[in-house]
Amino acid sequence: MRTSPSGAVYNSWTQPSYEIKVRGTMFLWGSEGITKDITFDKPLLLHIHNDLFGEVITFGTQNASGTKETFGTLKPGECVSIPLQGISGVFASCSQESIVCCLIKQ
């Protein structure tokens, strides 16, 4: 799998950032094992960027009871921001493999 140099742009982010190789279904934030929805005084934002040379990913949120809400898809090179509030996780799935860059911002 080839990854794009666009990931290097995120090296200058000053907020917590990371990359996840999505194969099947993976959590971008949180976990299936969290048993209580997480809330913050001020919601954090999770910025999600699908690699330019990646595959289409499907993404959404999950609450503590395990109910998943799918938001849609991101094609290679696309990005979206979602609030982290009242959920236990953010998931992404890919039929093949894609690198997803994530940044958490207040």
Please report, for the chain, the start and end positions of each structural domain, with discontinuous segments joined by +.
18-105
pLDDT attached to residue 6: 55
Complete DSSP assignment for the chain: ----GGGGGGGG--S-EEEEEEEEEEEEEE-TT--S-B--SS-EEEEEEE-TTS--EEEEEE-TT--EEEEEEE-TT-EEEEEE-SBSEEEEEEEEEEEEEEEEE-
pTM (2 d.p.): 0.85
pLDDT in tens, 8-65: 555 565 667 899 999 999 999 999 999 999 999 998 999 999 999 999 999 999 999 9
Angstrom distance (rounded) from CA 30 to CA 46:
11
Express each pLDDT in 11-23 by its tens digit: 565 667 899 999 9
Q: What is the reported pLDDT for 89?
A: 98
Topology of 18-105 in CATH? Answer: Jelly Rolls (2.60.120)
